[in-house]
Amino acid sequence: MRDRVLMNISQVIDDSTGCYEVGELDFGILHTCYEYLEAKPGNRKKLAEWLKFLGYKCERSESPFKIL
């Protein structure tokens, strides 16, 4: 399997710049995400549905991922 990172989500654990608060989430959309969205017409819908799913799980304090 080959994969490509489309989006980064990280939690701030130390802020020496004063730009964030510890515990805050930082989102970054990489250039490859735009290529993915343009590659096939259905990709935008797939990404939107995935983000809605994540939001739904977060609002209910449920883990969106299986814990192994």
Domain count, the chain: 1
CA distance 38 to 42: 9
Opening angle at CA 23, ends 47 and 9, nearest 5: 25
Q: Note the pTM of the prediction, 2 decimals.
A: 0.66
Looking at the domain assignment, is residue 27 inside a domain? yes
Looking at the domain assignment, is residue 2 inside a domain? no
Looking at the domain assignment, is residue 30 inside a domain? yes
Looking at the domain assignment, is residue 49 inside a domain? yes
Contact 9, 26 (CB under 8 A): yes
Looking at the domain assignment, is residue 65 inside a domain? no
Looking at the domain assignment, is residue 68 inside a domain? no
Contact 57, 64 (CB under 8 A): yes
Q: What values do phi and psi take at 40, rounded to 5?
A: -135, 145
For residue 53, give its domain range: 7-59
Looking at the domain assignment, is residue 42 inside a domain? yes
> Tens digit of pLDDT for each residue in 15-66?
888 888 888 888 898 889 989 999 998 999 999 999 999 999 989 998 888 7
Instruction: Give the pLDDT score at 25.
Output: 86
Looking at the domain assignment, is residue 28 inside a domain? yes
